[in-house]
Structure 1
Amino acid sequence: MGGTIVLVTDRPDRSAALAAALREVGPCEVVGTEESWTSGGFLLGVVSDLTLTRPEAAGCLRRLERRYRGQALPVIGLLRRASTESLRLAKTLGATVCLPAYVPPETVATALVNQIENTVPVGERAVVHGVARAGEALASLLDEARAGSQIRMETVEAGLAPILTAVQEGGLARWLDTVWSHDDATYQHCLLVAGLAAQFALHLRFRWDDQQRFVRAALVHDVGKARIPLPILNKPGRLDPDETAVMRTHAALGYEILRAGGECDAFTLDVVRHHHEMIDGSGYPDGLSGDAVSDPVRLLTICDIYAALTERRAYKTPMRMADAMAVLQGMDGKLEAGLVQSFGRALA
């Protein structure tokens, strides 16, 4: 299963066996009552081993409920007192099933698996899995790029089919909603573009190998941002001219990073270097125009711009779909109008 399981506990000294059992289901993170739930992780489920009458425990679970309200998130509540009042409190704080705290860890893990299967629709599970696998691939890629290590494309390859399956089975809207919860700007953007590329490729009825090729290029298109200074990359607001010049180096940097790895195909290298080119010659880094801008670049650039317009940031309101499409349609001459129309139909 993809996604992360969180075990939230106020007695970590006694949680090792339970954490080990949960790790048989999926990756498990153990946290305390100070957990804020503000980060945009992709949770498969939560196990609460807390004394619910303590204010800090109740506060933690209330923050959880607010953060994931409206999502089918399984929450196993372990009760240290099997009373009607304890059960009512656990349900109030978001528990989807309650068990006595003394049950064997394996029983808790089995209950969580059953909850995932019963409460999370198949399509949503596919999206959670796809986002998790794509996120792992992207994290590995960016870590290697930052460290100056040789890029290993096999890690990226493992994330491609789950993206396509997630979008096909769970739908683009679920993919976007899940990815929009991610706080890291580069991760959110790359995962948005990958999902949009998957939807576009499916709409255009690409062959399976072409779908994977296009999604691969989308997922890695901004790898060059791993070499951009963090104060510029994470600046909340508009960049000044000098900062913009630095940011614009990311396309060529990404191309060089992947080319040096020796494992990247020409299709992906073209997209990574040229995804900011425009058919009127006004783009960068090479000022390509007309037929020099390949079809894959034309397609990916549309996905890239739409993703940038609709991203969710603490410092800006995301643009509505209709408004973002109007911006794309207003770029006639820079973008290919027929492809923009086709992209709009793919989103419908």
Structure 2
Amino acid sequence: MSAQATSTKRRLLLASDHPDQSRELERILQSVSEVQTLSTSELPDTPADQISGVVVDINLRSAESVQRVRNKLRHDSYRTMPRLFVLADALHHGSMQAWALGATDTISRPFDAAGILRRIRAAFPDSDGFDATNRGKTLNRGIAAAHEVMVKIFNKLPAGEPLKFSDVVEAENKIIKAIKHSSLREWLTTVGCHHADSYRHCLFVTGFAVAFAQHLGMRDDDQRRLVRAALLHDVGKAFIPTAILDKPGLLNEEEKNEMRKHPRLGYDALAAQGGYPPEMLDVVLHHHELLDGSGYPDGLSDNEISDIVRLTTIVDIYAALVESRPYRIPFTHAKAFSIMEKMEGKLDQHLLVAFRPVTFGAY
């Protein structure tokens, strides 16, 4: 292998409490990565800078193993590092434990080598931060474009620097192409590995919205309108205090009331700036409205709520349910849909039924 090839290969830590049982996984990983296999007690507090991520293969029913891994992964050097956990079976307990330990993706025994390699390429960037394939490059370009919009929303807009409509238009084609030519799973996995809560939620909603639009066979123009709306739906959160946005727990009533101001704040900021299409402003202002009139800020109901808002609301709620929160583990796909199906009268059930297939295989 040439020096150049070696320099760009992924470097992974494989943490195992039963190394002999991890040999098969180690061999699979070695086909696309340099792998250092360690016992959980040998995991360094500060991994080398060139490590792309950590794969954890432990008995998730062992309190001792779980605690050792938890103690290691809570160090700052692991905080933003992708973590792939191995599940021994499909039991819910193991999945819950993995997500509670900060998993960004999971794989299960028996191993499907081809499937694992796809997940590795999506979950762990190589040492240059990019997948070498055209597919990976397209995905990275789309996420980079979306991230740039997030930076402008949350960092520059509150400081008085305008968010131009052209900034959003410039990003939309790269985002649509990224999801079309890779997959929703790869988009979600990569976003989940590398982005903070407010960014991650907006990018999750964008990914789901684009995949939904493509599943429905929307025209290109309609797909672009939807991706713009999804990117900007939470723009008002840029004006909410970070102590509330980043609170590591449930909000109290006063904080909830402050948070509920974000649709109006976002709408006012973009409307004052000018240049934004009415349907985008409609989504920014009304994505928390519900069909029975119990939503906010305007208490709209039934036909007062446009189709693009109905669609964005469903995607927004689903994304929030399946994302990790400091105060709870993510809900499973089945649990999220169970919750949303019980919101009959509040959500457009026809759109909800149409959305369900989009999420199959995304996790």
Normalised to the residue count of structure 1, the TM-score between the two structures is: 0.68
Deviations 1:74-130 (A, max 9, x none): 656xxxxxxxxxxxxxxxxxxxxxxxxxxxxxxxxxxx79x953xx4x333322221
**Distance of 2:46 and 2:316 partners within structure 1:** 41
Q: Identify the residue that residue 200 of structure 2 maps to in structure 1.
A: 188
Q: Identify the residue that residue 224 of structure 2 maps to in structure 1.
A: 212
**Distance of 2:283 and 2:354 partners within structure 1:** 19
**Distance of 1:219 and 1:205 partners within structure 2:** 20
Task: Identify unmatched segments of 5+ residues in structure 1.
Answer: 1-55, 77-111
Which secondary structure state, in structure 2, belongs to the residue aligned with residue 178 of structure 1? helix
Letter in 2 for 1:59: P
Q: Which has the larger radius of gyration?
A: 1
Q: Identify the residue that residue 158 of structure 2 maps to in structure 1.
A: 146
1:282, distance to aligned residue in structure 2 (A): 0.2
Aligned pair partner of 2:247 in 223, 232, 235 = 235
Q: Identify the residue that residue 312 of structure 1 maps to in structure 2.
A: 324
Deviations 1:271-315 (A, max 9, x none): 000000000000000000010011110000000001110112344
**Distance of 2:144 and 2:327 partners within structure 1:** 26
**Distance of 1:347 and 1:225 partners within structure 2:** 26
Q: Is the 8 A contact 1:193 1:304 kept in 2?
A: yes
**Distance of 1:74 and 1:174 partners within structure 2:** 12
Q: Quick one: structure 1 residues 341 and 160, their matched pair in 2 at CA, closer, same or farther if it must change by over 3 Å?
A: same
**Distance of 1:171 and 1:338 partners within structure 2:** 24
1:316, distance to aligned residue in structure 2 (A): 2.4
Residue-pair matches, total = 258
Q: Is the 8 A contact 1:221 1:271 kept in 2?
A: yes
Aligned pair partner of 1:202 in 214, 217, 233 = 214
**Distance of 2:198 and 2:120 partners within structure 1:** 24
1:330, distance to aligned residue in structure 2 (A): 1.2
Normalised to the residue count of structure 2, the TM-score between the two structures is: 0.66
Q: Say whether residues 1:245 and 2:223 are aligned partners.
A: no
Aligned pair partner of 1:334 in 335, 341, 346 = 346
Which secondary structure state, in structure 1, belongs to the residue aligned with residue 157 of structure 2? helix
Aligned pair partner of 1:59 in 12, 35, 47 = 47
**Distance of 1:244 and 1:74 partners within structure 2:** 37
Q: Is the 8 A contact 1:124 1:174 kept in 2?
A: no
Say which is worse superposed, 138-147 or 211-220, in terms of deviation. Answer: 138-147
Aligned pair partner of 2:334 in 322, 329, 335 = 322
Q: Identify the residue that residue 90 of structure 1 maps to in structure 2.
A: none
1:169, distance to aligned residue in structure 2 (A): 1.1
Aligned-CA RMSD value: 2.7
**Distance of 1:225 and 1:249 partners within structure 2:** 9
Say which is worse superposed, 60-69 or 124-133, in terms of deviation. Answer: 60-69
Q: Quick one: structure 1 residues 239 and 208, their matched pair in 2 at CA, closer, same or farther if it must change by over 3 Å?
A: same
**Distance of 2:256 and 2:312 partners within structure 1:** 21
**Distance of 1:255 and 1:58 partners within structure 2:** 44
**Distance of 2:125 and 2:190 partners within structure 1:** 16
**Distance of 1:61 and 1:341 partners within structure 2:** 45
**Distance of 1:323 and 1:165 partners within structure 2:** 30
Aligned pair partner of 2:120 in 53, 66, 71 = 71
Deviations 1:178-209 (A, max 9, x none): 11123421100000000011011111111111
Letter in 1 for 2:286: H
Q: Identify the residue that residue 24 of structure 1 maps to in structure 2.
A: none
Q: Is the 8 A contact 2:249 2:326 kept in 1?
A: no
Letter in 2 for 1:60: A
1:139, distance to aligned residue in structure 2 (A): 1.0
**Distance of 1:248 and 1:219 partners within structure 2:** 19
**Distance of 1:58 and 1:340 partners within structure 2:** 45
1:147, distance to aligned residue in structure 2 (A): 1.1
Q: Identify the residue that residue 36 of structure 2 maps to in structure 1.
A: none
Q: Percent identity?
A: 41
Q: Quick one: structure 1 residues 62 and 328, their matched pair in 2 at CA, closer, same or farther if it must change by over 3 Å?
A: same
Q: Quick one: structure 1 residues 183 and 236, their matched pair in 2 at CA, closer, same or farther if it must change by over 3 Å?
A: farther
Q: Identify the residue that residue 294 of structure 1 maps to in structure 2.
A: 306
